[in-house]
């Protein structure tokens, strides 16, 4: 009796894979022209569209970082940088992008203009020199603001092979920055569910390192001390990131 | 079910000559979770057509022993009988939250072109993470896959820290992180689905000295995925 569930498992695995992507082909329209070809553009331009898939977790203004190997926003098991802590606890991406801008492996950074509410989306453009395309990766980071220190995004995904007009799409999972205890208290939640403190340099989580977020418990699920409700619970994936190379 | 499982193993064994799929590859297993430990992993590269577990099917006795108490000896014997390329306990003990273990495998001269692994989540009653017969990539490169937690379906998720790890024994065998409580009344009875299925997650509570569960809802819950596996084909 042979039972082979490999295919069904792989569907599951692919569905959950944070870094697997589907590249969408488009027409590589190379139509002829009578005019002399213009000089090739010096810049490669990417539109990064972040869609909030959650029920009641606004995403803080998104940080987009185009970089090579040698830089990463975070590593699971390693303590968050001060810049990531600032984003994860308060939704302010300026320190993270400043850290990135100071890193030689980073080509470009960009920020979203505003928080992205549930079901909302924002497109953020980032450009790099065409000469920087080989090995190019991108990281996208944002805070789930009705939490203590949950973040989501993609972390060093390769976009080096994207051709103009092509896109790749990821679905992202939530991480815990590990820098703040998950009190679920309004005093420590900067989003609309709390209105409390954002960044605090104290690190008081169960361990000072980035890991997967275990989710919001909430007062409706037995945590009487929580100021979050069942509305604020989330499951993975929490966001979608689509990157299209414009030129 | 043990009989069925073994029949499947025997039927598929030695049916294929060594193929052109032989590869040398590194495997990194990362515990993504924030508060869950994994018992020693059993990792096997094995011929296609074999499975350590099958979602929707009852657990084998050897899978139950792994999922309820972390014992991999039975499953290891099963895959060794297949001629599998086996790595046991690569982390040298428990794999702590947000840590990784990396090891090399070489399937040269075999037809072991599928990769599986299993390990139990602690503290739980019978949760395990499983990679199920993934086709091992052959092109040199780095491949990442995320892996969910399953429930073996063999034990009630009472979430009580009793030390019970033998197959059929109630309760959770251990809390390596030392953050669980005591005095719970029992979070749940037998699983509605007695077959292997995606784990619904632990409940926990906020009462370290009572409540329904010995687990802490702020520490011992998780969301899938729980494991990231990175395969580097050399």
**A167 lies in some domain:** yes
Among B12, B34, B95, B114, which would you mutate to test the A interface (most chain A Cβ atoms within 10 Å of its Cβ)? B34
pLDDT-derived band at A238 (thresholds 50, 70, 90) equals very high
pLDDT-derived band at A33 (thresholds 50, 70, 90) equals low
How many angstroms separate the CA atoms of B90 and B39, rounded? 11
Inform me whether the pLDDT recorded for A16 exceeds 60: no
Q: How many domains does chain A have?
A: 1
Expressed as residue numbers, the domain containing A234 is: 43-245
Lowest mean per-residue pLDDT among A106-110, A207-211, B18-22 = B18-22
The CATH number that applies at residue A75 is 2.60.40.2130
**B7 lies in some domain:** no
> What pLDDT, in 10s, does the model give residues B163-211?
999 999 999 999 999 999 999 999 999 999 999 999 999 999 999 999 9
Residues of B in contact with A236 (CB under 8 A): 223-225
**A51 lies in some domain:** yes
C-alpha B226: how far from chain center: 10
**B9 lies in some domain:** no
**B98 lies in some domain:** yes
Q: Say if strands A121-129 and A43-52 run parallel, antiparallel, or are unpaired.
A: antiparallel
Residues of A in contact with B223 (CB under 8 A): 173-174, 212-215, 235-236
How far does A130 lie from chain B, in Å, by closest CA?
A: 24
**A23 lies in some domain:** no
Inform me whether the pLDDT recorded for B10 exceeds 90: no
**B88 lies in some domain:** yes
Please indicate whether, in this complex, the C-beta atoms of A174 and B7 are within 8 angstroms of each other: no
Neighbours of B115 (CB within 10 A): 25
Q: With both helix axes pointing from N to C terminus, report the angle between B73-80 and B2-12 in degrees, rounded to the nearest 10.
A: 30
Query: Mean pLDDT, chain B, as a whole number?
Result: 92
What is the DSSP track for B182-221? S----S--S-S--S-EE------BS-TTSSS-SSBTTTS-
> What pLDDT, in 10s, does the model give residues B46-74?
999 999 999 999 999 999 999 999 999 99
Residues of B in contact with A209 (CB under 8 A): 98
How many angstroms separate the CA atoms of B224 and A23, rounded? 24
Torsion of CA B165, B169, B171, B173, to 10 degrees: -10
The answer to whether the CB of B102 falls within 8 A of the CB of A77 is: no
How far does A227 lie from chain B, in Å, by closest CA?
A: 14
Residues of A in contact with B134 (CB under 8 A): 6, 9-10, 13
Q: Say if strands A22-24 and B114-122 run parallel, antiparallel, or are unpaired.
A: unpaired
What the block records as the tokens of B25 is 């590859």
**A33 lies in some domain:** no
**A9 lies in some domain:** no
How far does B36 lie from chain A, in Å, by closest CA?
A: 10
pLDDT of residue A35: 76
pLDDT of residue A40: 66
Q: How many domains does chain B have?
A: 1
Expressed as residue numbers, the domain containing B219 is: 23-234
pLDDT of residue A59: 98
Taking residues A76-91, report their average pLDDT. Answer: 98
**B11 lies in some domain:** no
How many angstroms separate the CA atoms of A44 and A129, rounded? 6
Please indicate whether, in this complex, the C-beta atoms of B226 and A13 are within 8 angstroms of each other: no
**B10 lies in some domain:** no
**B6 lies in some domain:** no
Please indicate whether, in this complex, the C-beta atoms of B133 and A76 are within 8 angstroms of each other: no
> What pLDDT, in 10s, does the model give residues A147-197?
999 999 999 999 999 999 999 999 999 999 999 999 999 999 999 999 999
Please indicate whether, in this complex, the C-beta atoms of A77 and B148 are within 8 angstroms of each other: no
**A24 lies in some domain:** no
Closest CB to B205: pick one of A17, A176, A222. Answer: A222
pLDDT of residue A27: 40
**A31 lies in some domain:** no
Lowest mean per-residue pLDDT among A39-43, A138-142, B164-168, B177-181 = A39-43
Inform me whether the pLDDT recorded for B80 exceeds 70: yes
The CATH number that applies at residue B116 is 2.60.40
Closest CA to B205 of A218, A17, A75: A218
**A147 lies in some domain:** yes
The chain A residue lying nearest B202, using CA atoms, is: A214
pLDDT-derived band at B15 (thresholds 50, 70, 90) equals very low
pLDDT of residue A209: 97
Please indicate whether, in this complex, the C-beta atoms of A16 and B34 are within 8 angstroms of each other: no
Taking residues A44-70, report their average pLDDT. Answer: 97
pLDDT of residue A39: 76
pLDDT-derived band at B21 (thresholds 50, 70, 90) equals low
Taking residues A33-52, report their average pLDDT. Answer: 84
């Amino acid at each position: 009796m042979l039972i082979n569930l490999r295919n069904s498992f792989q569907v599951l695995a692919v569905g959950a894979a944070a870094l697997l992507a589907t590249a969408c082909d488009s027409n590589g329209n190379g139509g002829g022209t009578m005019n002399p070809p213009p000089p090739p553009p010096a810049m490669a331009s990417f539109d990064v569209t972040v869609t909030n898939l959650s029920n009641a977790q606004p995403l803080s203004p998104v940080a987009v970082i185009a970089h090579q190997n040698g830089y990463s926003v975070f590593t699971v098991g390693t303590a968050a940088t001060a810049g990531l802590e600032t984003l994860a606890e308060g939704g302010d991406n300026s320190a993270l992008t400043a850290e990135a801008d100071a890193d030689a492996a980073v080509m470009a950074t960009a920020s979203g203009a505003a928080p992205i509410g549930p079901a909302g989306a924002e497109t953020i453009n980032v450009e790099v020199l065409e000469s920087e395309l080989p090995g190019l990766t991108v990281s996208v980071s944002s805070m789930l603001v009705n939490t203590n220190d949950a973040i989501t995004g993609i972390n060093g995904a390769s976009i080096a092979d994207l051709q103009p007009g092509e896109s790749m799409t990821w679905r992202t999972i939530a991480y815990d920055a590990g820098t703040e205890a998950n009190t679920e208290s309004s005093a420590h939640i900067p989003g609309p569910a709390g209105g409390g403190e954002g960044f605090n340099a104290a690190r008081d989580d169960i361990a000072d390192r980035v890991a997967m977020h275990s989710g919001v418990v909430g007062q409706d699920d037995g945590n009487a001390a929580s100021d979050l409700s069942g509305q604020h619970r989330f499951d993975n994936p929490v966001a979608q990131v689509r990157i299209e190379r414009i030129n | 079910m043990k009989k069925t499982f073994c029949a499947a193993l025997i039927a598929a064994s030695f049916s294929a000559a060594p193929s052109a799929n032989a590869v040398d590859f590194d495997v990194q297993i990362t515990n993504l979770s924030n508060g869950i430990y994994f018992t020693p992993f059993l990792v096997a590269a094995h011929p296609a057509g074999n499975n350590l577990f099958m979602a929707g099917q009852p657990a084998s006795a050897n899978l139950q022993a792994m999922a309820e108490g972390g014992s991999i000896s039975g499953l290891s014997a099963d895959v060794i009988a297949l001629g599998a390329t086996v790595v046991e306990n690569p982390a040298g003990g428990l794999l702590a939250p947000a840590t990784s273990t990396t090891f090399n495998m070489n399937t040269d001269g075999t037809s072991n072109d599928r990769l599986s692994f299993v390990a139990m989540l602690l503290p739980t009653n019978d949760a395990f993470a499983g990679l199920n017969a993934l086709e091992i990539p052959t092109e040199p490169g780095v491949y990442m896959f995320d892996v969910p937690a399953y429930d073996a379906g063999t034990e009630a998720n009472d979430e009580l820290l009793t030390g019970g790890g033998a197959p059929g024994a109630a309760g959770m065998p251990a809390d390596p992180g030392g953050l669980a409580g005591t005095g719970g009344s029992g979070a749940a009875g037998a699983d509605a689905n007695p077959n292997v299925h995606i784990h619904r997650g632990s409940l926990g509570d906020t009462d370290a000295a009572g409540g329904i569960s010995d687990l802490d809802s702020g520490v011992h819950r998780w969301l899938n995925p729980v494991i990231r596996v990175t395969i580097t084909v050399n």
